[in-house]
Amino acid sequence: MDVRAPKGTVDMLPEVASAWEHMTRTAQTLFARYGYEPIYTPMFEHTEVFERGIGEATDIVSKEMYTFEDKGGRMITLRPEGTASVVRSALEHNLVQQGSSAKLYYAGPMFRYERPQKGRQRQFWQIGIECLGAADPSVDAEVITVLWRFFETIGIPAASMRLLINSMGDEHCRPAYRDKVAAHIREHSAGLCEECNRRADTNPLRAFDCKNPACATIMATAPLLRDELCDECAAHYAAVKVRLDMLGIPYIEEPKLVRGLDYYTRTVFEVQADAGLGSQNAIGGGGRYDRLFEEYGGKPTPGLGFALGFERTLLCMEAAGVQVPALPRSQVYVARVSDDVAEEVFGITQALRDAGVAAEMDHQSRSLKSQFKQADRLGAQFVVICGPEELACGEATVRNMGTKEESRVAVADLSAALRDLLV
């Protein structure tokens, strides 16, 4: 049997898994300050949820989804992102009642059949938030701020990131703009790749995302939506910027930022970083999707959010020299002088754990010297040395591994004494 994980997936070994836990804890603390609550949706959905939500002409839906028929004949897709599922769930459970809003966050694996490279996997991990029911530009500014503050809090220097923002317009101004971009593509048809030519009919704005240098040059002269926004979209965009300015969030306007998902309306944004990343430099991104509920048959309900990528964020943290706090290790090691006290040692270790102390013992009949070495490796601050004579008197020796001081403590008082010492 091949013991390697499937292509494009990685095992999160303890060091990386503890970085994930550190990141999710940091996110939870920050998101709670902004009123976000957790939501966990299934890792797979009916395929239609993503087809309708993300859009059939996107790369994600047309090329990257893990789709299969289950044994009941249903078309199922492993989620390539979280937004479509959260909106589907909000509709199913009526989470956004008239006039109210729901602030939700999630964290977990997503699946896209992409060509694996640094910062790009087929199973990758995202942390995201979705704010459903609020149309005010203050929410756009708030959501963008949460993303920026997350990266700052996790230790990525502001100078090594850039925040790009744009407005995608809405159903009033985008159709005419789409037609203008399609006309631009047709006008320059000969210089554009086959796929961009196809995009003129299916989804012209996707041509802005094409990595082909010749296409990028032609698209650089395409009309910009910024110049075609209707009054309402222009006012919304201006109000978002005023609020970001108030908070000193340093954004760059990027009129060609269209993002890879079709559900966006109005504000879109992306945080990019170069250090530690190759071409996969987007560490997080999001935007508004005011028409997505209707796409699923719901009432008009505005929404917006973001998702950040764990792997790329971790690469950035490493490049910035950020230390992930180590896993909580054993605080106390219970060592036995001889095998005849094994049962007592087992009982003492368990009692310490029940009292809330992180304690470890030897399970491999190590010598006392090796037990001390293991205590050092685990970072134990105290070792409880259990010898037959001391235990016969109802006592054990507590050694402070830092100062090397030793004292005799009654076994009955060990938990309380160590709890005090550890404080």
> Closest residue to ligand HAM, Cβ-based?
309
- Between helices 47-54 and 83-92, what is the axis angle to 10°? 110
Burial 182-217 (b: 16+ CB within 10 A, else e): bebbeebeeebeeebbebbeebbbbbbbbebeebee
Which residue in 284, 4, 9 sits closest to 120, CA to CA? 9
Q: Is 260 in the site for ligand HAM (CB under 6 A)?
A: yes
- Cβ contact 148:129 at 8 Å: no
Of 133 and 286, the one with the shorter C-beta distance to ligand HAM is 286
> What track of x and - describes contact with ligand HAM for positions 117 through 146 (by CB under 6 A)?
--xxx--x-x-x-x----------------
Chain centroid to CA 198? 33
Edge-to-edge strand ranges of the sheet holding 282-288: 37-38, 102-111, 123-132, 303-309, 282-288, 265-273, 161-167, 251-253
Please, what is the minimum distance in Å from the beta carbon of residue 50 to ligand HAM? 11
Q: Is 295 in the site for ligand HAM (CB under 6 A)?
A: no
> What track of x and - describes contact with ligand HAM for positions 270 through 289 (by CB under 6 A)?
------------xxxxxx--
Q: Is 49 in the site for ligand HAM (CB under 6 A)?
A: no
How many binding residues for ligand HAM (CB under 6 A)? 27
Q: Is 306 in the site for ligand HAM (CB under 6 A)?
A: yes
Q: Is 312 in the site for ligand HAM (CB under 6 A)?
A: yes
Q: Is 205 in the site for ligand HAM (CB under 6 A)?
A: no
Of 313 and 381, the one with the shorter C-beta distance to ligand HAM is 313
Of 181 and 268, the one with the shorter C-beta distance to ligand HAM is 268
Query: Cα separation of 316 and 310, whole Å?
Result: 10
Q: Is 58 in the site for ligand HAM (CB under 6 A)?
A: no
DSSP 8-state secondary structure symbol assigned to residue 4: S
Q: What length does the chain have?
A: 423
In sequence order, the β-bridge partners of residue 307 are 128, 285
Of 205 and 261, the one with the shorter C-beta distance to ligand HAM is 261
Coil/strand/helix, residue 49: helix
Of 79 and 184, the one with the shorter C-beta distance to ligand HAM is 79
Residues contributing to the site for ligand HAM (CB under 6 A): 81-83, 112, 114, 119-121, 124, 126, 128, 130, 260-261, 282-287, 305-309, 311-312
